[in-house]
Structure 1
Amino acid sequence: MEASLIELKDIYFFSSQFLTAAACMGKYVVQNCLDFFLVCVSAETPLKDGEEAASSSDSAADPASSLFNHWGRDLGPESRRVALKKFRYFGYNGYLSDRISLTRPIPDLRPDGCRNMSYSSDLPQLSVIFIFVNEALSVLLRSVHTVIQRTPSYLLKEIILVDDNSNMELKEHLQSFVDETNAQHGPGFVKVVRHAKQEGLIRSRVSGWRVATAPVVALFDAHVEFNTGWAEPILQRIKEDRTRVVSPSFDNIKYDTFEIEEYPLSAQGFDWELWCRYLNPPKSWWMLRNHTAPIRSPALIGCFVVDRKYFEEIGLLDEGMEIYGGENVELGIRVRRISAPEDVRNLCCMVPSGKVSCSHCHCLN
């Protein structure tokens, strides 16, 4: 079958080859192949608690809806309709997220041995950059709260929030949080970059980098939760060699129950269609018999940490790219090409000791 080009405003990519689904921002042109499915996302505004629900024909009444397979069976009809409206809008259980603590405890899933590792006392400071558009407020705030709570204060210089033209309601609620946080931690601790129009994922990351001032920048989506000790092993790798581009080890936040699901340690790469994939670590890593050792990786999927000036030296991300995931492949290839053939130090790598959980949007029924 001949592949066709389809242009959509808001889309989700899904593949039987993927372990996760990736939420896309902005307007993208994507290749429609047999292995991939495109699901349009409703552009309607999510209902607030207490708002009038949709008609009785709404599929929220259907207990077979994927949102209610493992959660919410004890909810009344009104609450179910509100929950499903938010699920349709965000792609995850925003209703449940609003009822979970912003600093909830999560399991420490680091490999054995990571808890006893020691690091330099003079690690470089971090600027943590979150990018988002119309993210659920509770999910966004949980990302920020956990990075503050679980990063040593002497390492976290600032947090940069890149708002890719979200709705006014989110902007107002977020500004109140920013003002309160800066009153507690000092002026400029949380900075907000607001786009006048939607720029998309790649240009949003570069916008955050331009505002950052710490020696190291960490670029993340705004639907993550940081685990204990996530930063130190990553910063240690970059301190040893500033040309390393490093990813934390990711686990999954289940879209419906918000439970943490441990993912196996893996490298991050891409297939012949240039789609990002999780890969089995190379044989050389297994032969070390040390699960705390960094895993060399051909590419990095989405979120990564890099020396701020080195990132500029290698050209940042290609702001002309419009397709989600292309920047990950291109960055991996570029980092590999600038290395001398005998020098593999500055390849991308994943650090098992640095654990971050990520919420992945889910296909809607």
Structure 2
Amino acid sequence: MSCVCVLLCVLSRWIVWLGGWCVIRMRGTWIKRLLLLVGAVGVMLYFGIFLKNGHQHSVDTKNEMDTPRMKTSSNLEERISDLNKVLRGFEKKQDIMQKILEEDREKQRKSAEVQQPAVQKQAEKKKDDANIQPQNEADQMKKSEKLFPNSVLFKEWGANLSEDDQREAQSLYEKYGYNVYLSDRLPLDRPLPDTRDPRCLKKSYPKDLPSLSVVLIYLDEALSVLQRALRSIIDRTPKNLLKEIIIVDDNSSNGRAEPLLTQIKADRTVVVSPVFDRVNFDDLKVTTYHPSAHAFDWALWCMYESFTPEYYKLNDGSLPGKSPSVMGILVADRKFLGEIGVLDEAMKVYVGENVELGIRVWTCGGSVEVVPCSKIAHIERAHKPYMPDLGPAMKRNALRVAEIWMDEYKHNVNLAWNIPFEVFCGTDTNSK
């Protein structure tokens, strides 16, 4: 009976082992599977016969109590001998199957070694393919020479442009005086930083403000810049305040109307101007300018100056500050502007009209203020394409302003332009 238990345990272990081996060998050849299946079936049949004979022997033993003990012992020894033979046969089969498994593992290992370089090579190829486009672009950029090394447009901008794009950008720059190539590629409603004093956001303004007419005077301006100015005015001005836009030129304005109109509502004789932030002519980035008075030197060339000391004692950079003049962008009461003569129509081209208006406003009982809570972004051209040499027009306008408004101080303007006194006295500023 103990032999049967041992045999059953061995058989069960081998069945489990064979099942696991079959799982491992799923990738083996069909011939090996067939041999193992036949061997397993044979072993099971053999054990079935053995167990049957053993059971029959036990029954005969009970029925034939008179059988000699020696015969029973001899039969048991034969059964044990047969069991040992079976076990040795299993051991041989185990060795064979183990050898097959090792051979299979070795084949798999060699196959993996062969496939790994191919996979690695394929991965490297994909990586190389992914880098082909950037490398080609890099090669293209390296091949693109700097065609205009002396152009101020490409001093800080345009390093990655192709040669064709460089030609287009330079041509547009020469025509307009700023980077139209980049302007044409920016959205019309591009976001701009709010560079005003934080206290401006907390201010409230009257509901019944005067309406606003915007006049844009343009001359040889790029269409995208003019469109962006109009879009900014419309987007940033309340509809109930914006009465009309009169297009005559472009100053690229995009500020708030309420702070300006509030000052005019309080005093119709005040002419107000927003604070200018500069838009760089090359990369069109915004450079913040702090609130300052719009002044001028003896050549009547506009310049920035500090507000009065009393202004800074208030310690509030959001408050309007008095200014001698304006720098070209202004808001005024239409009736008051008409009462003092509007603008001098005899001024030519550029510079001087802003100084003339400032002097006129102060002389005629009004005042000029710069309002920090209203800001615009202004493109300052690198050159004026409509007049490469502004000197003659600037000189003529300055002498006209001095002759009309400055009385004995006009001689200082004369000296600033290096004009002898006797020649200045003979100049007819109305005829030119």
Q: Same fold (TM over 0.5)?
A: yes
Name the Cα RMSD after superposition: 1.8
The residue identity in structure 1 corresponding to 2:154 is: F
Number of aligned residue pairs: give it: 241
Contact 1:60–1:84 at 8 Å: present in 2 too? no
Partner residue, 1:127:
213
Structure 1 residue identity aligned to 2:359: I
1:271 equivalent in alignment to 2:308: no
Alignment gaps of 5+ in structure 1: 1-58, 163-220, 340-345
What residue is the counterpart of 2:225 in the other structure? Answer: 139
Residues in 2 aligned to 1:237 and 1:99: alpha-carbon distance in whole angstroms: 37
Mapped to 2, the partners of 1:286 and 1:266 lie a distance apart of 11
Aligned to 1:226: 254
- The residue type equivalent to 1:262 in the other structure is T
Question: Percent of pairs identical after alignment?
Answer: 45
Show the counterpart of 2:405: none
Contact 2:260 2:371 in 1 (8 A): yes
Give the aligned residue type for 2:234.
Answer: I
> What residue in structure 2 maps to residue 362 of structure 1?
382
> Conserved in 1, the CA contact under 8 Å of 2:291 and 2:372?
yes
Separation in 2 of the partners of 1:111 and 1:338?
32
> How much does 1:104 deviate?
0.5
Instruction: Give the aligned residue type for 1:362.
Output: A
Structure ranking higher in strand proportion: 1
**Greater share of residues in helix:** 2
TM-score normalised by structure 1 residue count: 0.64
Deviating above 3 A after TM superposition, structure 1's stretches of 4 or more consecutive aligned residues are none
Give secondary structure in 1 for the equivalent of 2:204. coil
The match for 2:313 is 287
Residue number among 228, 234, 239 corresponding to 1:148 in the alignment? 234
Query: In structure 2, how many angstroms separate the alpha carbons of the residues matched to 1:98 and 1:85?
Result: 14
Structure-2 separation of matches of 1:325 and 1:287: 33
Provide structure 2 residue ranges, at least 5 long, that are not aligned to the other structure.
1-144, 389-432
1:254 and 2:280 aligned: yes
The Cα offsets for residues 97-142 of structure 1, whole Å up to 9 and x where unpaired, read as 0000001010001112000100001111111111112210000000
1:150-183 CA distances to partner (integer Å, 9 max, x unpaired)?
1111111111112xxxxxxxxxxxxxxxxxxxxx
Post-superposition Cα deviations, 1:251-297, rounded to whole Å, max 9, x if no partner, equal 00010011110012110011112111111222111111110111100
Residue 350 (structure 1) aligns with: 370
- Inter-partner Cα distance in structure 1 for 2:184 and 2:190: 12
* Matched position secondary structure for 1:222: coil
Question: Any conservation in 1 of the 2:294–2:325 contact (CA below 8 Å)?
Answer: yes
In the alignment, the residues of structure 2 paired with residue 240 and residue 136 of structure 1 have an alpha-carbon distance, to the nearest angstrom, of 37
The CA distance in 2 between the partners of 1:261 and 1:232, in whole Å, is: 23
TM-fit CA distance, 1:363 = 4.3
The one-letter code matched in structure 2 to 1:265 is P
Change (3 A) 1:130 1:323: closer
The structural deviation recorded for 1:315 is: 0.2
- The CA deviation string for residues 177-233 of structure 1, in whole angstroms up to 9 with x for no partner, is xxxxxxxxxxxxxxxxxxxxxxxxxxxxxxxxxxxxxxxxxxxx5141414xx1100
CA distance in 2, matches of 1:133, 1:363: 13
SS at match of 1:252: strand
